[in-house]
Amino acid sequence: MNSPAPLEAPALLQARGLAYLRNDEPIFGPLDFALYPGEVVLIEGDNGSGKTTLLKVLSGLLAPSAGSVLLNGEPLTLARLSHQVALLGHLLGIKAELSPLQNLRFAIGLGGLRPGITPHHALKSVGLDGYEDVPLRQLSAGQKKRVALARLLLVPAALWLLDEPYANLDREGMALVNRLLEVHALRGGAALITSHGAYAYTSGTPRRLQLHAPAEKAA
Ligand SMILES: Nc1ncnc2c1ncn2[C@@H]1O[C@H](COP(=O)(O)OP(=O)(O)OP(=O)(O)O)[C@@H](O)[C@H]1O
């Protein structure tokens, strides 16, 4: 008996005519793109080209000026955002007065827990065993970034939006980001990652989405 043809996977994320204006000035867009399970897509652009703003719109922190964002074919809602999207922004989403363990438990409370992993295991995976109970303000910038990476490992969100994930990391930390991205893509997750040029992503040739700074837009 023939097995049925596999159904085409729906886009995890779809942007349609997505644009953001600040004081009537275009920051980005209109953009049309889709992100499928297993994909890592790089958002490229110079300083000020709108990369962070795009991630904020995609993660629901800013409302788009035009267009729409669909997650698994459905419009964004707060409940879907908290369980399907993990954002690693410049501010990392971690609290300085809490320890890594406390921060991770807080993140699980908001975003849920992926089966088969514990906060201790996640901290070990990012090279932070021994730092479980140290207040975050006593950690280096790279160690804080690693706590934020441990959070990605713990929550079940399929879509990762990572703003400059390699910033503040040493060579081994950059390789760690790549390993996390590869494993995430292999298990059907997807990621959008920004950088103003210094990419360290080394697995294959990822698709690129180019944004342009205002001076380039006017040119
Ligand atoms: N809170 C804000 N208020 C006003 N303008 C802002 C604000 N945040 C960003 N901008 C402007 O929006 C534009 C896009 O900024 P954004 O941070 O998205 O760029 P980026 O591509 O992420 O830059 P970088 O590579 O420097 O991180 C810039 O011109 C910036 O000055």
Integer Cα distance of 127 and 15 in angstroms: 35
Is the distance from the beta carbon of residue 29 to the nearest atom of ligand 1 less than 6 Å?
Answer: no
pLDDT recorded at residue 145:
93
Sheet holding 190-195, edge to edge: 85-88, 159-163, 190-195, 40-44, 207-210
> Which residues share a beta bridge with 25?
22
Q: Are 142 and 85 in contact (CB under 8 A)?
A: no
pLDDT recorded at residue 1:
41
ipTM: 0.96
The CATH class given to the 13-213 domain equals alpha beta
Going by CA atoms, what residue is nearest to atom 11 of ligand 1? 48
Q: How far away, in angstroms, is 127 Cα from ligand 1 center?
A: 32
pLDDT recorded at residue 206:
75
Is the distance from the beta carbon of residue 212 to the nearest atom of ligand 1 less than 6 Å?
Answer: no
Q: How far away, in angstroms, is 43 Cα from ligand 1 center?
A: 14
Is the distance from the beta carbon of residue 47 to the nearest atom of ligand 1 less than 6 Å?
Answer: yes
CA dihedral (192, 197, 199, 205) in degrees, to 10, reads 70
Going by CA atoms, what residue is nearest to atom 28 of ligand 1? 48
Place of tokens 């007065």: 97
Going by CA atoms, what residue is nearest to atom 27 of ligand 1? 47
Please write the tens of the pLDDT for every residue from 172-194.
999 999 999 999 999 999 999 99
Please write the tens of the pLDDT for every residue from 122-144.
999 999 999 999 999 999 999 99
pLDDT recorded at residue 219:
54
Going by CA atoms, what residue is nearest to atom 6 of ligand 1? 22
Is the distance from the beta carbon of residue 27 to the nearest atom of ligand 1 less than 6 Å?
Answer: yes
Is the distance from the beta carbon of residue 195 to the nearest atom of ligand 1 less than 6 Å?
Answer: no
Q: What single string gives the DSSP state of each residue in the chain?
A: -PPPPPPPPPPSEEEEEEEEEETTEEEEEEEEEEE-TT-EEEEE--TTSSHHHHHHHHTTSS--SEEEEEETTEE--HHHHHHHEEEE-TTTT--TTS-HHHHHHHHHHHH---TT--HHHHHHHTT-TT-TTS-GGGS-HHHHHHHHHHHHHHS--SEEEEESTTTT--HHHHHHHHHHHHHHHHTT-EEEEEESS-----SS--EEEE---HHHHH-
Q: How far away, in angstroms, is 187 Cα from ligand 1 center?
A: 33
Give the residue ranges of the chain where pLDDT is below 50. 1-6
pLDDT recorded at residue 78:
74
Going from the C-alpha of 55 to that of each of 25, 35, 194, the distances in angstroms are 18, 13, 9
Predicted TM-score (pTM) of the model is 0.89
pLDDT recorded at residue 203:
67
